């Protein structure tokens, strides 16, 4: 019984399982154990604080919504309610922006209210999928398509409010569920979660032929590498898929340069459009040239309004070779080439890239997003792999 009690205490306070028996200390052992205990206790304290902060903010949202719906003097404050409330409370960290997020948090996650009220034991089980009915009550999901709600206990235990605040920027409930799931699975930082949201990982994974490989790339990696999306999403260009030219595509990308840079990923800086090169006394022009400040290299992009052609890859290879010989500065890494086309055959791309010394990539782009059913099927497959 004593050992059982000791084990329970060790688990509760994140102590080593044999802490009371380990009495043969060297100085190195002593310092290691103190460090280990400090780190584990600190980590547990941070997690506990995060959980309390999340619950606090949810309950604040509840109070605000209840007041807006039932407060006897709510009309007196009107649209300035949250600002007046922040001024009246006058506590560090309690401001109008936080109060807006708290209210939104409460409205978007009704399953947390169900969990905090403790109305059903199923709400305490992180593995039990639940869904909201039309009457705003919760039940165990009867079908697979009703499983797209993350249990409240899992949200509170695994996501800080900073993570939740990022996810609240996503309007589509299915997309929110996807980012909740992937954030918990991959242990994303808030910054990484933000990056995945603004670069539309949800849509890219949903229509990717190999989504498991795409999602593996989202794991945190301390070694800088150029991660090339496939496909890129250019829905923001508002081009008709059935009628556009390479020049139309290039003009639209320049017009929407900010959105394009976000879609490209981390570290891209625009450098040139139709970059002129002189090779054998003839002029050649690279469509778009970027510099990646993380990888310290130029990235040359060729745009095509048709499916992959190996001749286009040879042209890009020549441009990259020219840049490597004539445009690299001290401290630069070798340039990278990206060929963007509407379609590609994996084997033909593999054969065309074989034997090339330069770092080249072939990717596709889409001008419209996939339909909702395609995305739902992908999410279900992703859930079944866990």
Of 7, 93, 118, 98, the closest CA to residue 57 belongs to 98
Would you state the pLDDT for residue 130? 38
Q: 254 falls in which pLDDT band (50, 70, 90)?
A: confident
Q: Which CATH architecture has domain 235-366?
A: 3-Layer(aba) Sandwich (3.40)
Kindly report, residue by residue over 107-133, the tens digit of the pLDDT: 999 989 888 887 653 443 444 443 333
Largest CA distance in the chain: 88
Least confident of 208-217, 225-234, 254-263, 276-285: 208-217
* Nearest alpha-carbon partner for 129 in 149, 158, 105, 108: 149
Q: For a pLDDT cut of 90, what percent of the chain falls above it? A: 12
- E strand or H helix that includes residue 360: strand 359-366
Closest CA to 41 of 19, 74, 69: 19
Q: Average pLDDT of 324-337?
A: 87
Q: Where are the domains of the chain?
A: 50-225, 235-366
The residue behind tokens 């999306």 is: 229
Show the CA angle centred on residue 118, arms to residues 117 and 120, nearest 5°. Answer: 130
Q: Which has more pLDDT, 104 or 364? A: 104
The more confident residue out of 280 and 2 is: 280
Query: 33-37, 177-181, 382-386: lowest mean pLDDT where?
Result: 382-386
CA-based radius of gyration for the chain: 27
Q: What is the pLDDT of residue 10?
A: 57
Which of 43-52, 63-72, 140-149, 261-270 is the least confident region? 140-149
pLDDT band at 369 (very low <50, low <70, confident <90, very high): low
User: How much is the pLDDT for 213?
Assistant: 47
Q: How far apart are CA 130 and CA 147, in angstroms?
A: 7
Taking CB atoms within 8 Å and a gap of at least 24, the contacts of 7-14 are 13/41, 13/44, 14/40, 14/41, 14/43, 14/44
Task: Read off the pLDDT of each residue in 275-301 and give the average, rounded to a whole number.
Answer: 88
- What pLDDT is stored for residue 264 in this prediction? 75
Smallest Cα–Cα separation from 312: which of 282, 289, 337, 276?
A: 337
In this predicted model, which residue has the larger pLDDT, 2 or 168? 168
pLDDT at 235: 62
Q: How far apart are CA 298 and CA 296, in angstroms?
A: 7
CA 293-295-297 angle, 5° bins: 80
CB atoms inside a 10 Å sphere around CB 175:
20
Short-list 233, 359, 352, CA closest to 299: 359
What DSSP string describes 129-152?
Answer: -EEE-TTS-EEE-SSGGG--S--H
pLDDT band for position 167 (50/70/90)?
A: very high
Three-state DSSP at 188 gives coil
For the chain, give the mean pLDDT.
Answer: 75
Lowest mean pLDDT among 3-12, 77-86, 158-167, 174-183: 3-12
pLDDT at 227: 59
Model confidence band, residue 13 (pLDDT cutoffs 50, 70, 90): low
More confident: 276 or 30: 276
338 φ, ψ (degrees, to nearest 5): -125, 125
Predicted local confidence at residue 236, as pLDDT:
66
Is residue 146 over pLDDT 90?
A: no
Q: What percent of the chain has pLDDT over 70?
A: 68
Q: Which residues are bridge partners to 173 per DSSP?
A: none
- 166: burial class by Cβ within 10 Å (0-12, 13-18, 19+)? buried
pLDDT of residue 109: 93
Burial of 186 (0-12, 13-18, 19+ CB in 10 A): middle
């Amino acid at each position: 019984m004593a050992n059982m009690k000791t084990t329970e205490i060790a688990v509760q306070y994140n102590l080593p399982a044999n802490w009371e028996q380990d009495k043969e200390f060297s100085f190195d052992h002593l310092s290691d154990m103190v460090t280990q205990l400090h780190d584990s206790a600190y980590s547990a304290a941070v997690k506990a604080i995060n959980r309390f902060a999340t619950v606090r903010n949810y309950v604040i949202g509840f109070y605000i919504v209840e007041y807006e719906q039932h407060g006897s003097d709510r009309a007196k404050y009107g649209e300035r309610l949250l600002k007046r409330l922040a001024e009246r409370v006058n506590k560090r960290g309690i401001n109008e922006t936080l109060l807006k997020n708290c209210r939104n948090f409460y409205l978007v996650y009704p399953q947390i209210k169900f969990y905090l009220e403790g109305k059903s034991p199923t709400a305490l089980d992180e593995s039990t999928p639940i869904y909201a009915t039309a009457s705003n009550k919760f039940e165990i999901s009867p079908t697979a398509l009703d499983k797209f709600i993350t249990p409240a206990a899992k949200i509170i235990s695994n996501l800080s409010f900073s993570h939740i605040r990022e996810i609240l920027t996503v309007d589509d409930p299915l997309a929110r569920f996807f980012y909740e799931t992937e954030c918990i699975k991959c242990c994303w930082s808030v910054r990484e979660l933000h990056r995945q949201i603004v670069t539309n990982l949800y849509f890219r994974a949903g229509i990717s032929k190999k989504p498991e490989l795409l999602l593996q790339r989202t794991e945190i990696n301390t070694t800088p590498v150029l991660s090339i999306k496939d496909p890129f999403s250019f829905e923001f260009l508002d081009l008709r898929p059935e009628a556009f030219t390479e020049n139309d595509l290039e003009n639209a990308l320049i017009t929407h340069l900010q959105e394009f840079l976000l879609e490209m990923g981390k570290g891209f800086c625009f450098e040139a459009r139709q970059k002129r090169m002189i090779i054998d006394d003839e002029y050649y022009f690279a469509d778009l040239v970027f510099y990646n400040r993380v990888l310290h290299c130029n990235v040359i992009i060729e745009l095509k309004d048709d499916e992959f052609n190996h001749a286009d890859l040879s042209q890009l290879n020549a441009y990259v070779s020219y840049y490597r010989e004539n445009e690299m500065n001290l401290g630069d890494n070798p340039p990278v080439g990206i060929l963007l086309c509407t379609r590609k055959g994996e084997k033909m791309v593999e054969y065309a890239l074989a034997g090339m010394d330069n770092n080249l990539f072939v990717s596709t782009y889409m001008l419209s997003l996939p339909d909702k059913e395609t995305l739902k099927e992908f999410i279900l497959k992703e859930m079944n792999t866990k």
